[in-house]
Amino acid sequence: MNEKNEQKSKKANRYTEEFKKQIVALHDNGKPSKEIMMEYDLARSTLQKWVANYHKTGSFQAKDNRSSEEVELIELRKEIKRLKMENDILKQAALIMAKK
Bigger pLDDT: 86 or 59?
86
Nearest residue to 31 (alpha-carbon basis) of 13, 14, 16, 51: 51
79-91 pLDDT tens trace: 999 999 999 999 9
Q: How high is the mean pLDDT of the chain?
A: 87
CA distance 43 to 12: 13
33-56 pLDDT tens trace: 999 999 999 999 999 999 999 988
CA distance 63 to 60: 9
Burial readout 68-94 (b: 16 or more C-beta within 10 A, e: otherwise): eeeeeeeeeeeeeeeeeeeeeeeeeee
| 3-17, 41-55, 56-70, 82-96: least confident range | 3-17
pLDDT band at 20 (very low <50, low <70, confident <90, very high): very high
